[in-house]
Every structure is written in structure tokens, then in C-alpha cells.
Structure 1
Amino acid sequence: MTQSTVEVLEELGPEFYRDPYPFYARLRERGPVVRVGLGPTPVWLVVGYTAARAALSDPRLVKDQGRMLRAAAATAGVEHLPVPEEKTFGEQVLTSHLLTMDPPDHTRLRTLVGKAFTMRRIQALRPRIEQVIGELLDAVAGRTELDLLEALAYPLPVAVLGELLGVPAAAQPRFKELCNALNFVGPEEMRQVGEDLAELVLTWVELRRTEPADDLLTELVRAHDLEDRLTLAELASMVFQVMSAGFGPTSHLIGNGVSALVRHPEQLEMVRADRSLVPAAVDEVARYDTTVHIAMPSVAAEPFELGGAPIAENDFVVVSPGAANRDPAYRADPDVFDIRGNTAGHLGFGHGIHHCLGTSLGKIQAEAAFTALLDRYERIELAVPAEELQHKVFPARLLEALPLRVG
């Protein structure tokens, strides 16, 4: 491939979904930043570690939606794209969140929602996390085969997010449905999810106005009602952000993690023998089989050079944390799963102002899940050949199921 080649990522076949890393390695041969087709617009895809880290913290790469529309119009060769109709409240919920914002709005909202993710609050959730894991594993006690995603990795973060947000008990079944929908529905269905979530959040807001509690919903209602620091749409969007960031990434950190450990039994036994290695195993999973392979796009506010590539004003730039974490320039043995290897500075949870807010909460859940599985089962292995595991890649690397044999 030459630098002028535009590789259309959507046209890659099943082999890419099974194992995308050889493809990323071939892209890196062209350079750390390469031109590819992603949707209707050519973008600069950042596959090198140093360039990815730089891009994720470069203020010249912005999320401004108006600039993105103008840039897309310029790429399409038209003066402007059709003006979208005024967004419904549900559409605002899906689009007015941290990943689509730049400072100062990003700073304002991240400061507000960051109150939910203080170490004090997260550590206080640990006993509840361990209790939920115990209950979920008790529910499948006696079974010698199970799908870990259905049994543990999906329901655990839903329960934890419900505690964090303060979801009323009566709304928890619907909350679970919406969390699952965020991970599995397409763009068209997602619009309805936004409308449903908006309606649900409005009922929660009214409840927390009359019955405040020590939870994120109460904090957000106070910021809206008393401090006038966010709009109602921003409030609902913060709930959406917490749900989307806290469910899928955590579920698949657990799923990808257990998958990696059982496919490397010597590493599994190393952790079993020394439980102090569990946190290192979680970070190695986040590096080795990163959940987010294609980050949210940015657009260049001015021309500059990134990894030797000439980024023009209004060019789209997309970072691939999954590719960057396997760059030999970052780690000499990037394709080796080694829980004792260097993971300092890995991009599995992002970097810069858009670093994942829920990193600590997700890691605590994964650590607790790994520990509980090792405590409960002397034998944990795949119930199918490794090559039969099915993945989805774009924008995240997700296992469709993780059948295990346990005992």
C-alpha cells in the first residue's frame, strides 16, 4: 500500500473482525498517520502510539459540530450540507455530551459529572460490586458451561450504574433494557433509545427534586435547578454519557479480559497464584485487546503536521487506540499478552481531556470479577475453539459471546 492509497475500512472482511492487528501493522508500515476511507469521508487514521497520544491531547483537533458539518460539506464538494431540522429533546440527549464538546463547555460539564467518579464514591461502591458479582455467580452455580457475557459481564455494570446514578427501583428493568440497547442497536434504533431515555430521565428528575439522595442524579438536578450550570438537555445527556461509557466498555473489558486469560493459561495461573497481579492483568487487557478501536472523530481547526502527515484545516482525524497500543514503538513485544509487561501510558482508556471518566470504576469491576472467578472456579477454559469466537469491530472490539467451561 502507498500513502496515496485509500483503504476503505468497512469493506474489510471477517478476518479483520477476528484479528485486526495484522492489518494495523501493515498500515503502520505506511506511517503512524495514514489516509483511509471511513464512511463517506476520507480521514487521517492515527495508528502509531506517539502520534495517537499527541492527537488525543492536541487542542487543534476539535469536536465542534458546526465545524464538522462545514468540513464534511467541503469534502463532499458542496457549499454546505442540508441544514438539519431542529433536534428533538431525545436527539439532543444523544449528541450534547462530552465526546462531542470542546472547552469551555467540555470543562464545565466534565467537572460536574466528575463528582460521580471521585475515588471516595467509587471505593464506596466496591462492597456492592462484590455483592452483585457473588449474586450473579450464585445464579449459575452448578453449571459447568456458561456464557460469561450473559451471566456476568453484561448485568454487573448495569447494576453498578444504577447505584451510581440513583436509578429508582421501579425504573431499573427499563434502565437495564436501555443500557443493553446502547450496546446493540443501530443508528436508526438509537434515535428511539434517545427519546425513551429522555422521557425516563425527566421522570427521575422530578423524583430527585422531591426526594434527593446521595447519587449522581441528585447532583445533576442541583446543578440545573439551583446553580444554573447545565441545561435540562445537558443533564439528560450526562446520564446517557455515564450509561454508554459505563456499560459497554466495562462489559467488554471483563469479556476481553477473561478471553485473553483463558487463551493464555500460563498467565491465568500466574494471576491465580498471585492475586496482587490482578490490577496489572486488567491494564494489560486494556492494552492488548482494547475495547475502543476507532475513537470519536476530530476535525483540524488549522493546518499542522501529525506523525509526518500534512493535516489540512478541516481534515478529519480519527485515532485508533487499538492500533496504537500494539505499536512496537510503544512496546517491544506488542502482540504478546504479558501481565508483567509495561502498560504505562497505554491508550485503552483514552488520553487527554477525553480520557474515560469511568476508568477507575470499570477497572474496579473487572478486578473484582477476575478475583471472584478465580476464587469460585478451579478450572476456567473456553468451551469452544478460540478461532470460533466471534467479534465485532467498529467502533469497538466486542465479543458476541464468551462460552466457558468451568468447575
Structure 2
Amino acid sequence: HTRNLRCMHDAPQDVLIDAYPEDEYFDDLLKVTGGLTDENLARIAIRASSNCRDWMRKHGVRFQPPLSGALHVARTNAFFMGGGKALVNAYYRSAEALGVRVRYDALVDRIELDGDRFLAAHTGGERIEARACVLAAGGFESNREWLRDAWGEVNGEWVADNFLIRGTRFNNGVVLKHMIDAGADAIGDPSQSHCVAIDARAPLYDGGICTRVDCVSLGVMLNRDAQRFYDEGEDFWPKRYAIWGRLVAFQPGQIAYSIIDSKAIGRFMPPVFPGIRANSLDELARATGLDEATFVDTIHTYNAACRVGTFNHAILDDCHTEGLAPPKTHWAQPIGKPPFYAYALRPGITFTYLGLKVNERSAVHFGGRPSPNLFVAGEMMAGNILGKGYTAGIGMAIGTAFGRIAGTEAARAAQRVIEKEQHHAVA
């Protein structure tokens, strides 16, 4: 379901405009993570993002200009044609052309180790030996019991019970849990994740990016009590969209409502489901099931606090509120032009951040020491860089950088074993 890659570049490059230098990229990451990042590993991923697209093209990935409604990221993010499915299919075709054998329906349930050394993977009753291994088995976002334990109970509600899973139902964290139980060094908070506020009508699994609702910064967000609870205009949407899932998770019933008027239409990517539409605010309140008097009062209070300057959704404009808590820092316009729209939103988990600790070689660690032949990539190690928070395209940047690093290091480790075997054979 992914669609873009956050890329460092010092000058315009094909589908990317202007420049996005390393330090600005790292500062953006630092802000969203609140400093919970390994700077060395983060900068490795950032630098790798500047030249990985040529490698991706060699393996069949094609890039395109940013989609309409995604102009905030035209400078920072490269979009690939066909999204994640086309990306993965291109990689599979390239791998098979290189002679890589792909095993489908092969659930790995155990990794066989000798201390810190990989020996074999077990799938069902089969044991598959190898000289080196890369673990890329994802997190545990589909494991509802693990999510329940990680997020706990708040005000008598099990927070994770109302979560939707944006991707596959098969990321249950089997290999991740096995490795942690086997003594691999872990990193990250199990309750931290890439968690987005998505349409409450989305399916439990696999709704993907089309269920995301991107109009939050153009209106107000209300909880079940018809009260605002956070600044909707704090920063550009690509830097803030991923905080809303967690914010909604701690609201009553794990639900919230994005409220806009007709001025917002055409300014955001249309989601797959249409919003609830009404010709008046009290009618919209009734349609959403929120308390009518509180709903109307909240909107009128917000409208009265708006100080409208020159509205420009492409910049951090001067349209803000005064005397309102929480404030709306940018893009604050009165909600008064009918028809009015509401989108009910719930937390949508994309991927979890609990993972395995690595070094610059992406090696799995045991007791602070790197394994000589076991490496890890993707969600299983992203928590080294993403302690919390998210910014658009950073997951793909981490996965691409450390996937290539892990693959390269695994090949080198295997080659060392081959050379050792050949030396012993000659001796």
C-alpha cells in the first residue's frame, strides 16, 4: 500500500523539485521522533536515499511526479508508479531473473541458532540451512493480542480493540517474538507505531492508503464528546498525519470526527468513502450521532476565534485562532459555507516499532555483540531510527537502505564461509 520514498537531494532531480539536503531531512526526522532516533543509522538511511532510485530503476521500479493533492511532498518524496504492489512485483521479477528461488506459503516459525550464529530456518516440518540469513518478517501489527497488551487499558477501555490494520493480516510478529525470546537485543516501545487516523468504515485488514482521510488540517477534529482535542494546523500534513492515529486512540471510544465545509473540497486527496454530508451544522451533528448543542457550540466557538489572514494550504500561513484551547496554528478558517461534511476516524496501524537492535551493517545483536551471519531489514529494525512518530516516506527510505545493506552484508558473510570451506578443502 506504500506509494513514495522520502529522498535526500541537493538539487532538482527528475521527479523531485528544488533541494532537500541531509541536515534538513534529519531535522524533520528529529522533530517527529522527539529525538528518539539513532543519528548514525538515521543518517545512513538518509544518505542512501539520495542514490537508491537508480538502483531501484535497474530492478524495474518506475517513478512519476507527485499525485494531485500531494504537492506538499513534491520536494521531499519520489512517487513510484503503481504503488507498493508494482514495486514488490518488480523486485520479485528481478530476483527470479537473477536465480533467486521464492518459496510461497512458507511460514517461518523458528530460527535455529548456535549462539549468535544463524544455522537454519524452520518452516513447518522443513529445515532450510544457509550460510547467512536476512530477517525481513515485519512487525506485529496484525497480532491483536500483542497490540492489546502493548497499549493496555485506559478509562476502562482496551485501546487496541478498536484499531484497524491498514495492511496484511499476516504480520503477527512470529519471527520477531521468537528472536527476542532467543536472546536477540530488542529496541523500541511496543506501543509505538506508524498509526494513522483512517476512515472508521475501513475494513479490519488491508484497507490501505485509500482509507486515509487527509482533510484534518482543513477543518476541526472532534471527539465523541464533540470537543476539539489537538491543534489541527500544527504543521504540514505529511509531517503530522501520522500523529492522529495515536491521538484518536486515547479519545473516548477510540473515535473522532473530521469536520469541514465546502471550502475544503478539492484541496485534499478524495478518500475511498464519501463524507457524511449535511446542509446545516445541527443536521451534521445529528447525522454523526454527536450531541447537537455541544457540536454547534464547539464549531461556533472555533469560528469566533479564527483570525483569517491570507489562506494558503501550501505554506504555513497566517490563518490562526486566538484565545482558543487547543489553538489552531495555521489554515484556520471559519466553518460556515454549506454543505458541511464529517468523516468518522479510527486508529489505523501501519507497522509497529518494536524491533531488533542493529549496527551500521544491519547485524542482529546478542548481548551487545553483532551476529556474524544474521541480519535484519524493514519493520523488524525500523525502531532503531523511529523511536516514535513518522513522516511521509521515511519507512520506505529505511527499508530500502537497510534492505540493501543487510543483503550486501549477508552475501559477504556467506562468501567468507565459502572461502573458509575452500581453504579447509585444500588443506
Q: TM over 0.5: same fold?
A: no
TM-score by length of 1: 0.25
**Larger strand percent:** 2
Taking CA–CA contacts closer than 8 Å with sequence separation of 6 or more, which of the two structures ends up with the larger relative contact order? 1
Relative to its length, the structure with more helix (as a share) is: 1
Please give the TM-score of this superposition, normalised by the length of structure 2: 0.24
